[in-house]
Structure 1
Amino acid sequence: MRLVSVAVIASLLPAVPAAAATESTRSAPSTASAKAGTTYYVDSRAGDDSADGTSERTAWKTLANVNAAELKPGDTIAVKRGSTFTGPLTLEADGTAAKPIVVRAYGKGPLAKIGGTEDDCVIVKGDYWRISGLRASGCRWAGFRLDGRRIELSGVKADRNIAGVMVAPSGSHNTIRDSVLTDNNRMSVNDSGGDNDSGAFGVLLNGDDNLVTGNTITGSYAKSKDYGTDGAAVEIFNGDRNVVTHNIARDNDTFTELGAKKGKTATGNVFAFNVVTSKRSRGSFLITRGPRHIVGPVKGTIAVHNSVYLPARDTIGWSCHDGCSPSILKLRNNVIHVGGEAGFADGKGADEAGGVYKGRTARFKPGPKTVMADPQFVSRTDLRLRPGSPAIGRGVKLSSKWYGGKAIRKDAAGKLLTSAPDAGAYQH
């Protein structure tokens, strides 16, 4: 697994506005439904761009009319299932907390597919959107690019992009949930010797205070001339206070890798109740950096109640290097079984407790209640605990701030944590 460097992503991304986030709350965007507004329909098969678009019978045919529409708070864009469009779909209007602008599917069949190599497929520049029922495939860079604030992306699919979902530096307080991000397995740069290959991201977070939850992220993995292979289910570069929780990740190169350009810190990101498995010959759960690294220091990362099974020999549970310290990484109540190195920390080491680890090697100081033992997962893909597992009752009691809020204090199956929790993503 690459432990030496990360591509300097900021220099490779499309130009985006400067970061504008000023709020400190981690809460998800409001789930208020759009109140009465105009619904515009679009149907690539039976639509007509000369029609008014305000009924299924008078639907538009292309995204051009949607892009040009003067949308207002409470309006809805209804996209016919089975449609195929060339992007981009560019959403620039602003909704409000009480009246978000909605994109949803209608009809029967597969999700409408937006593709095209000339631009990102779905670009959301406005605030307060609720977007569901779309698939973004084979786009120039990102399937979905979120430049705005208070956007909820749910029930979407993204595949064959460099990034399935990208949250730009200006994107904050957005939610990416209950979506399927599969085989986003392309590199934006793949040349020899530059230490700058970049790509294969399920989700790329450059913004602050975003929530990534309940998603299935698979196949974020691509060949790299610099690193052999590269990719991440969730990559964070410069983003602060993001919460990544209750996701299922399979067969990615890395679950998460964090970095920041000088002057940034990627501070206070939380990873909780994620379930990570892989059949690949290499991989890792979490990679972060101290101050001696070119894209460090990454400060205040928290990883709690994650379950990880990576059986191949060239694997690592977590790595905190180039000046690790408790201010860089804190781990609580994780269960990590790998074929390679269970964990690595140099410098002053990470702040760790309540974990169960199994690997060929481990180079970190175990904290209180941590043991080196087989966690006894049900199977290679089912990371619930069998009776008698050493992870049962192993966890240390934690306050809600460790998880990013009370709403997240549930295991991967939705069970509330007890005062004597099990380690790992599932409570026995």
Structure 2
Amino acid sequence: MKPTCYLRLASVFATLLVLSGGLDGSNIAFAQLNLSFDIEEPPFEYTKTEDHNRVSRLIAKLKSKEIKPEYTREQGYLASMLDALEIPASSQTLVFSKTSLQVRYISPRNPRAIYFNDDTYVGWVRGSSLMEISTVDPKLGAAFYTVDMMPWRAKIERASYDCLGCHVTSMTQGVPGHTVRSVLPSIDGSVNAQTASSITSHRSPFSQRWGGWYVTGRHGEMTHSGNALLRGDRLDTRDNGNRLNLRDDFDTYDYLSPYSDIVALMVLEHQSQLHNTMTRADFSVRQLQHESDGEDPTVASENEWRAQLHMIAKPVVQEMLFCDETKLTSEVKGLLEFAHAFESRGPRDDQGRSLRQFDLKTRMFKYPLSYLIYSEAFDSLSEELRREVIRQLLDVLEARDTSADYAHLTPQMRHDILEILRATKPGFERDAS
């Protein structure tokens, strides 16, 4: 298959519901706008577009000898790369299903380790000389890289075609992105393509999460699908919960820790889905602007554009505010080391409050607005889109929008979140004007 044909898998259809109401006195109603992306065509040109992100900056430092990574026999350049990318080792999560490029190495006895921060993900498998890195890029969505680990050098190259087959599909909302996938793994970690699987997020029922992953931490009486294998045609979850470590499951000696932290998995689910949602919205705006380039706007077309922009931004707002989040019925307790590293990145207001503070009793975060509002990915959204997202966020937080979508936000929550934002992201309200 030709590369351009291969990349045509990157199509997404964003269904926009009917919007009826007054915009500058006009009634605008449109039932559906189909946005189909060919990421190798303008305005995207994925493989031709130069990358500008955390990993490309690291590559430049390696080439200039500003950074000299250290190699170990057990882990190659893993520790050095995590340090250079500012990724904490405590973010380790472990997936044992054969659902990655390096399927021949992965099994329940040799899981793949994933480490991450707010924008970058590192995949490492014991016994492989290839390490995978992906990151969020302002123009590309997700950008993918491989690290060829030889004792005398670490060679990082941008990779597209091998990665996009899985990372530009309906699983990633049709744009270059990331997912946490829950599957039904066999005893060797293999997955029958005909069996059910799902992409998990903060909306997913707890019981359906993390099939094919190891999970450590306490979660009370709630059940999940991690640490379990198929027995016949059913997942055996009789003794898979509330694991404190994984030393009885496989030899953890060469790994950075014997854990696959449950809270890290919850964070990973949230931020991967929000990144995909932001990318899809940004691609939608860029596509519409490209298609209308050079056209003389009319009042009708301007009103239609505003209505389209409203509907494109709304899923981003809903994801950022944790709409439809599954309620926790037991307290979740993970590694203190991960929680401390995550929360310490702040920022905090003068009362010590932060959007990174966990709740983990009834919901994930104490103040349910995503910390990714501070990210480069958010700040790099198309200007019109970013303004519309902020305008809608302010409508919710200032209680002008009290629709059922945001009923989970109490008046006190809205007040606290807005105070935290005003203290920690100065000037953000100007973007809404």
Fold conserved between structures, TM > 0.5: no
TM-score range, shorter chain: under 0.3
Higher helix residue share? 2
Higher-RCO chain (CA-CA 8 Å, sequence separation at least 6): 2
Q: If the length of structure 2 is used for normalisation, what is the TM-score?
A: 0.25
Identify the structure with the greater strand proportion.
1
TM-score, length-normalised on structure 1?
0.25
